[in-house]
């Protein structure tokens, strides 16, 4: 997903919520504690994007962990 403004962050949160709802309906579990966010950008970011799943912050993967 390409995020270019704050609306993109809202869209990402909506998609993560839908993913969680789908997982519950399908009888699957997603462990946010074992998940990592990967952000690709050429620009310097003034503020980090924070991704939440099920109310839990998904930590950002460092380039050393990928």
- Report, as an integer, the average pLDDT of 12-19: 88
- Report, as an integer, the average pLDDT of 5-14: 80
18-50 pLDDT per residue, tens: 998 999 999 998 888 888 888 777 777 677 778
pTM: 0.66
> Quick check: 1 pLDDT over 70?
no
Query: For the chain, what are the domain ranges?
Result: 6-60
Q: In this structure, how many other beta carbons lie within 10 angstroms of the beta carbon of residue 7?
A: 9
Distance linking the first and last C-alpha atoms of the chain: 19
């Amino acid at each position: 997903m390409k995020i270019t403004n704050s609306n993109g962050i809202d869209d990402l949160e909506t998609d993560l919520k839908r993913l969680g709802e789908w997982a519950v309906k399908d009888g699957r579990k997603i462990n946010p504690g074992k998940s990592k966010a990967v952000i690709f950008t050429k620009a310097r970011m003034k503020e980090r994007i924070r991704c939440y799943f099920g109310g839990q912050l998904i930590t950002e993967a460092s380039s050393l962990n990928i």
